[in-house]
Structure 1
């Protein structure tokens, strides 16, 4: 059953983001991304700090100092991956307030057509393995982790889609590429189930790595995008979406700990 949950969760993550991109116009997507970035920042931070890390530290099979060292190593690892463009986070698009030069997206996708696909596929593969580790630790934690990843995947894949469209890709081709890269999560999930299942003692370390991925994406990519000088109304909306993300994570955390105490 655990493998079925992993496959369904990873497949839903890849499919849902593509369906959202397919069903909405570019104008609506452009506005939607801004709210989703705030929401996913809250969910990723909340899930990593309130759900995943506590689960890893409560396992009592690893020293806290070692787990913190893994957290530090994970942050540096994902920074290096992004530095060589293998862990990209695309939420940018022309007119998004980032003041990129004209045709920035065309250059990004032209130069990064293959790079974006390779980077996203590796990113999605890692996400799949993270979901597998969470489900192997606890089914409820797996659900919480999968929801956090889906929350981040939707704005990321929508951002990729907009970049590819701006670069001249047809709607169908851009969606197909996004779908293919999204399916790498399923491969990562199955691989994670096969490999991680053999090493129960490694689970706390893998959960910390998962948390480091969430924290890195939030701090290096999502939160900096929210550091723009905006009108009061937009700022309130931004903070509200972030708070909703944190509240959702807190709610899941409460349910997880309630279920644990019930046992």
Structure 2
């Protein structure tokens, strides 16, 4: 089998397998559990950002400050994008952010009208594209190295994809829509792998900024969109539950990363 065929096959199968396992973990959950599992999703996002994408970018960077600047600019970019989404709803559908008849935000009752789901899908697309480039680079060195790299990449994707599913469901998407969005996002790994095969040297300079942008997206969605919702349940029992689930989300990413390092 040719190197290009290996790249396409592993990028495609790896994405499908990681989404399949993530779907099993999340799609069978009761609707009443989704808001509770948002805490786990926050942990998975922060864990992926601070234990995976950011360290990887800093390790590859000649000047770490460049990465932190891109992360800061990325957070600002996602803030602006979210403002544009809000502005569109307020002008196209009167104002959906605030319901004057009931005196409360519609987003409080019906998720966030897809905002955090849209943001996390965009960030995950960047991340998967970079994963495809890394898989292609490994296969172009050695087939065995490519297989090991692909397994490692998609193993740490499972808890993150599970977090993405939960965020999409909490954001108002149906289970089918959440699955289709994750499948669509995963195809960017194939695109990244194929492009890297034909023009790896030209794409090398994109890896660092895209890792930084993916990091910015994860941090922004977790901190700006999801954590404020947890503060609406300030009771001590709810708070303890939230802290435990956030810790589990971070721990699942850390555990996978640690197991993969030891396997090498």
Q: TM-score, normalised by structure 2?
A: 0.68
> Which residue of structure 2 aligns with residue 80 of structure 1?
80
The number of aligned residues is 224
Larger radius of gyration: 2
> Which residue of structure 2 aligns with residue 255 of structure 1?
259
Q: Is 2:29 aligned against 1:7? A: no
SS in 1 for 2:232: coil
Structure 1: where are the runs of 5+ without partners?
87-98, 165-173
Instruction: Give distance in 1, aligned partners of 2:110 and 2:178.
Output: 16
Instruction: Give distance in 2, aligned partners of 1:36 and 1:74.
Output: 26
Cα deviation digits, residues 77-115 of structure 1 (max 9, x gap): 2222222229xxxxxxxxxxxx54599649x8xxx6xxx
Seen in structure 2, the aligned counterparts of structure 1 residues 67 and 177 have a Cα distance that, compared at 3 Å, is closer
Give the counterpart of 1:219 among 220, 223, 232: 223
8 Å Cα contact 1:18-1:175 kept in structure 2:
no
- Shift in Å at residue 218 of structure 1? 0.9
- Shift in Å at residue 123 of structure 1? 5.0
Give the counterpart of 1:155 among 160, 163, 166: 166
- Shift in Å at residue 48 of structure 1? 0.9
- Shift in Å at residue 249 of structure 1? 2.1
> Which residue of structure 2 aligns with residue 131 of structure 1?
128
Seen in structure 2, the aligned counterparts of structure 1 residues 2 and 225 have a Cα distance that, compared at 3 Å, is farther
Instruction: Give distance in 1, aligned partners of 2:130 and 2:39.
Output: 26
Question: Any residues of structure 2 matched to 1:56-95 within 5 Å, and which?
Answer: 56-60=57-61, 62-85=62-85
Instruction: Give distance in 1, aligned partners of 2:27 and 2:258.
Output: 35
8 Å Cα contact 2:168-2:178 kept in structure 1:
yes
Seen in structure 2, the aligned counterparts of structure 1 residues 67 and 189 have a Cα distance that, compared at 3 Å, is same
- Shift in Å at residue 70 of structure 1? 1.1
Seen in structure 2, the aligned counterparts of structure 1 residues 85 and 12 have a Cα distance that, compared at 3 Å, is farther
8 Å Cα contact 1:71-1:211 kept in structure 2:
yes
Seen in structure 2, the aligned counterparts of structure 1 residues 8 and 83 have a Cα distance that, compared at 3 Å, is farther
SS in 2 for 1:246: helix
Cα deviation digits, residues 154-189 of structure 1 (max 9, x gap): 2123235xx46xxxxxxxxx5554444343213433
Instruction: Give distance in 2, aligned partners of 1:251 and 1:176.
Output: 29
Seen in structure 2, the aligned counterparts of structure 1 residues 135 and 255 have a Cα distance that, compared at 3 Å, is farther
Instruction: Give distance in 1, aligned partners of 2:18 and 2:209.
Output: 24
- Shift in Å at residue 253 of structure 1? 3.2
CA RMSD of aligned residues (A): 3.6
> Which residue of structure 2 aligns with residue 53 of structure 1?
54
> Which residue of structure 1 aligns with residue 137 of structure 2?
none
Instruction: Give distance in 1, aligned partners of 2:24 and 2:227.
Output: 26
Q: TM-score, normalised by structure 1?
A: 0.68
Q: Is 2:187 aligned against 1:202? A: no
- Shift in Å at residue 33 of structure 1? 1.4
